[in-house]
Structure 1
Amino acid sequence: MRVEIWSDIACPWCYVGKARFEKALAAFPHRDAVEVIYRSYELDAGRAKDDVLPFLTMLTKKYGMSRAEAQAMDENISSQAAAEGLEYCAQGRDHGNTFDMHRLLHFAKEQDKQGELTDRLYKANYAERRSVFNDHERLVELAVAVGIDADAARTVLADPSAYADDVRADEREAAQIGVTGVPFFVLERKYGISGAQPAEVFTQALTQAWGERTPLEPIGGTGSDGADVCGPEGCAVPQQG
C-alpha cells in the first residue's frame, strides 16, 4: 500500500503531522507493506532565495498578525510538538524559500535516503537555531549526516535545474487532486487526509485503505495452467512439437 505525503520543511504542522502519522504507522499490523513517499509542496514558492526572515516576522508581514498573536500561535505549535516528543524552538527560527530542499529530497529519494533526509531537515529547522535557508553548505552538511555523498549533494544544489522538474511535477499533481494546504496525506490514491490529524485518524485511514485493497481477478487463467508466463524462475519456453 502506498501513502504519499505532500509537505514542506517550512510548515510546522507538517513536522507535527509527520510524527502523528508515524505513530499510527508504527502500530499498524501491515506497516512493513506500506510505502511512504514524500511529495513537494512550497508554501512560499514566490519568495526570493535571499529573502530570509525570522519566522515570527514572516507571520506578521504575510498574515497581518500582531507580534503577540504570532508568538501565541508559535507557542501553541510548540506545545503540540512537545506532546509528540518533538524538539521545537519557539523562537529564533528563520523562514525562507524551500525549493532547493525539495530538489535535494528528490535526489535523496534516488539514494533511498528521502525519509532520513526529511527527518534531518525538519530537526534542523525546528530544533536547532542555525538557519537552513539560502545556505547550500548547510544543506550539504545535513545530507552527509544521513549518508549522502557531499560532492554529489553539492553538485545537485549548484545546478538550479537539477530535479526542478520533479518538484514542479509534484506541485502540479497537488493542484490536480485538490491539495490547497499541507500536510496532505493520500492513501492508495483513494483517501485524502488534510492537516496534522490525531494519530487515531491515521490509524482509521490505514485500516480502511488496507481493508479495501482488491486483489486482481484473473482472466484466462492464472499462469499455473500451462499458459506461457515469466516468473521468478524465468520464462516458460513453448515446447516444439
Structure 2
Amino acid sequence: MRAVQEAPSGDTPMGFTVLRVPFFLEPDYPEGAEFEETNRVRLLRKWGGKAGWEAQKERHNLKGRGREVGIEHFNLDRVASNTMASHRLVQWVTKTLGVNAAENMYNDLNQKHFEGGVKLNDREMLLEAAVAVGADRDAAAAFLEDENEGRPEIEAAQRQLRDLGVSGIPTLILGGKYQLPSGAHHAESLIRAFRQVEAEGGATGSAFAAALSIPDEVMAETIRL
C-alpha cells in the first residue's frame, strides 16, 4: 500500500482507504477453542499430499514474496483454527475506532499468527491486539463473549462474496466496482489499477460497507502509512 500511495501522480499523492472483508479459508472448522490443526497438516490435506503441496508452493512463491516485504519466515506449523472470532473483532474495531486502528490490528494479528504461530481464535491474544490499538478491554471482551454480535454482518458479507464469485484471497475490489483477479499482486500492477481508476474520475464507493454496517465517516477515513 505504501508503494501505491507514494507513486507519483502529478502534484497530488494518492489517498485511499481499506476495508478488510472477512473470508474463511476453512469455513467448516468448528468454532470451539479445543479444535486445532497445524497449517502443515492442513496444506498437505488441501493439496492432496506432499507432491501437490510442493507444486502449489512453486506456483505461489509465498516465501519469496514474503521476503520481498521483510517477512523472513512463515511458521508452517502455526496452529490453524476457526477465524470467526478474529473477523468479528476486527470488524468491531473498524466500526468503533476506524480503518487505521483496524489495519494496525490486522497487521498485528498477521504477525502473531503467520510468524508467531498463535491461533486466531485465542481470545486473550485477540483482546491484547484490540487494546493495543485503543479499544477498551472490557468492551472488547463483552463483544467477543456475545457470539451473536457482529455475526449477521459477516454472514451477509459471505453471501455477497459468493454472489461476486470470490473464492480465494487476496481479492481486491476497488471503489466498489473494479474487481481484480484473485491472488497476490505486485505493487506495479496495483499502481496501474489505481491510476486507471483515478483517470476515470476515481471511485469512492464500497461493495461491502453496507453489508458490514460500516459508518460513512469510517469509510471517509484515509489510511495512514
TM-score w.r.t. the length of structure 2 is 0.76
What is the count of residue pairs matched by the alignment? 194
Q: CA deviation digits over 1:88-124, x for unaligned, max 9?
A: 3343311111111110011011211211111111111
Tell me which of 20, 23, 36 is aligned to 1:52.
36
Q: Which has the larger radius of gyration?
A: 1
Moved over 4 A (4+): 28-32
Task: Assess if the C-alpha contact under 8 Å between 1:87 and 1:123 holds in 2.
Answer: no
Q: Which amino acid aligns with 1:138?
A: M
User: How large is the Cα RMSD of the aligned pairs?
Assistant: 2.6
TM-score of the superposed pair, with normalisation by structure 1:
0.72
Report the CA distance shift for 1:69/1:188 in structure 2 as closer, same or farther (over 3 A). Answer: closer
Matched, 1:61 2:23: no
CA change 1:28–1:178 in 2 (3 A) is farther
Taking a change above 3 Å as real, the CA distance of residues 35 and 200 of structure 1, as seen in their structure-2 partners, is: same
2: CA distance, partners of 1:127 / 1:31: 32
Name the CA shift for 1:88/1:200 in 2 (closer, same or farther; >3 Å).
same
AA of the residue aligned to 1:48: P
Unaligned runs of 5+ in 1: 1-20, 216-241
In the other structure, the counterpart of 2:106 is 118
Measured in 2, the distance between the counterparts of 1:31 and 1:126 equals 32
Deviation at 1:47, TM superposition (A): 0.5
The reply on whether 1:203 has 2:178 as its aligned counterpart is no
Q: Which has the higher strand share?
A: 1
Amino acid in the other structure paired with 1:204: R
Contiguous gaps of at least 5 residues in structure 2: 204-225
Q: Which amino acid aligns with 1:156?
A: F
1:146 aligns with 133
Q: Distance in 1 between matches of 2:51 and 2:18?
A: 37
Structure 1 counterpart of 2:212: none
Q: Deviations over 1:23-62 (max 9, x none)?
A: 3234364555422211111111111123211110111123
